[in-house]
Amino acid sequence: MESLAHALGEATSELAAAGVPSPRVDAELLAAHLLGESAGRVRALALTGAAVPVGFADLVAERAQRVPLQHITGVAHFRRLELAVGPGVFIPRPETEIVAQLAINAASALDPVRVADLGTGSGAIAGSIAQEVSGAEVFAVELSELACAWAARNLGPLGVTLVQDDFAVALSGHNGTFDVVVSNPPYIPTESVPRDPEVADHDPELALYGGSADGLRLPLAASTAAARLLRAGGYFVMEHAEVQAGSLKRILSADPAWRDVRTHQDLSGRDRATSAVRADVPSEGS
């Protein structure tokens, strides 16, 4: 009978050879998934001579093909949430947690508060706001039918209103009524191919590419939608690539719809988000 400790060592070597960025952690998480235990408990079991769970080698082989860990386990963790994910939906990233935090900070200062999440994907940001800001009325907009199915599963228990629509026109009956608008729009330049196979081969293209050579067409569409939806003094925050920070700050600062434009760094010190406050001027379509 093969021991769990030996199997974890073999799996770590196999995943490392395949270029998986965190081979030991992924091996432990795959074992944890099969055992219904935490990764910490798996490490403890390995020290006691426990047996390897049935099917472990098959999951390791699948991960070695660079299938995302979250697609194998069906779960992605984001802040306090455990999200159901799989093919057809963008897997939320740790760097997006700072974007959610900025929106949560703004929403927490208001009571009552109305929040819109444009391009919600799995519902990570909208769900975090609904969970962490008591009494918040949260709307989530997503164009993809597949992503909407995952978002509905994740957001339904949290009371979020999910709308399947293009965020450029969505919620038009609510123009000028939101206090906070947040977005993690697609922003990869159209000619750029993500380096990691987990992203390039498994994340949906609709959630990745920003619709132009500089990747800014959809982020700017999100800012236009936010200007339409927000009341004067309302707060907007959006994720973007590090290299887009300067351009977005210049563009939004030059737009009379916005004031107090700021760049925010993620935990790695990269320029990850831009925020702005809705100026007291009419917007197009409002």
* pLDDT tens figures, 101-147: 999 999 999 999 999 999 999 999 999 999 999 999 999 999 999 99
Specify the range with the lowest mean pLDDT, choosing from 177-186, 187-196, 266-275.
Answer: 187-196
Tokens coding 276: 């702005």
121 labelled as ligand-binding?
yes
Could you tell me if residue 247 is inside a domain?
yes
Q: Residue 28's closest CA among 52, 49, 2?
A: 52
268 labelled as ligand-binding?
no
- To the nearest 10°, the Cα dihedral for 48, 51, 22, 200? -160
Amino acid symbol at 72: I
167 labelled as ligand-binding?
yes
The mean pLDDT of the chain is 93
Could you tell me if residue 137 is inside a domain?
yes
CB-based contacts of 264, cutoff 8 Å, min separation 6: 98, 102, 237, 271, 272, 273, 274, 275
**Does the pLDDT value for residue 286 go beyond 50?**
no
Q: What percent of the chain has pLDDT over 70?
A: 97
Residues 169, 257, single domain; the answer is: yes
Span 162-181, pLDDT tens digits? 999 999 999 999 999 999 99
Question: What is the Cα–Cα distance from 142 to 149, expressed in whole angstroms?
Answer: 10
Residues designated catalytic = 90, 184-185
Residue 6: Cβ within 10 Å count: 12
Per-residue confidence (pLDDT) for residue 282, from 0 to 100:
57
Residues 42, 128, single domain; the answer is: no
Could you tell me if residue 215 is inside a domain?
yes
184 labelled as ligand-binding?
yes
**Does the pLDDT value for residue 266 go beyond 60?**
yes
119 labelled as ligand-binding?
yes
More confident residue, 194 or 280: 280
Per-residue confidence (pLDDT) for residue 100, from 0 to 100:
98
96 labelled as ligand-binding?
no
186 labelled as ligand-binding?
yes
**Cα distances (angstroms) measured from residue 283 to each of 168, 180, 183, 238, 253:** 13, 16, 19, 19, 15
pTM of the predicted model as reported, rounded to 2 decimal places:
0.91
Question: What is the Cα–Cα distance from 117 to 108, expressed in whole angstroms?
Answer: 15
The reply to whether omega before 219 is within 30° of 0 (cis) is: no
pLDDT band at residue 285 under the 50/70/90 scheme: very low
**Does the pLDDT value for residue 284 go beyond 80?**
no
Residues 170, 248, single domain; the answer is: yes
Number of structural domains the chain divides into: 2
154 labelled as ligand-binding?
no
Span 225-258, pLDDT tens digits? 999 999 999 999 999 999 999 999 999 999 999 9
Of 14, 34, 65, the position where a domain reaches its end is: 65
Per-residue confidence (pLDDT) for residue 132, from 0 to 100:
98
Residue 204: Cβ within 10 Å count: 16
Residue 256 CA to its chain's centroid (Å): 29
Strands 271-278 and 81-84: unpaired
Question: What is the Cα–Cα distance from 249 to 242, expressed in whole angstroms?
Answer: 12
**Does the pLDDT value for residue 81 go beyond 90?**
yes
Of 65, 97, 118, the position where a domain reaches its end is: 65
Residues 142, 212, single domain; the answer is: yes
Q: Which of 88-92, 137-141, 192-196 tops mean pLDDT?
A: 137-141
Residues 97, 194, single domain; the answer is: yes
Residue 251's domain comprises 88-278
Residues 115, 251, single domain; the answer is: yes
**Does the pLDDT value for residue 82 go beyond 80?**
yes
246 labelled as ligand-binding?
no
Residues 57, 99, single domain; the answer is: no
Per-residue confidence (pLDDT) for residue 283, from 0 to 100:
47
Specify the range with the lowest mean pLDDT, choosing from 31-45, 70-84, 134-148, 191-205.
Answer: 191-205
Is residue 23 within 8 A of residue 63, CB to CB? The reply is: no
Residues 30, 161, single domain; the answer is: no
Dihedral sign, CA of 132, 142, 78, 159?
Answer: positive
Average pLDDT, integer, range 270-286:
81
**Cα distances (angstroms) measured from residue 105 to each of 11, 101, 160:** 41, 6, 18
Residues 99, 53, single domain; the answer is: no
Residues 232, 92, single domain; the answer is: yes
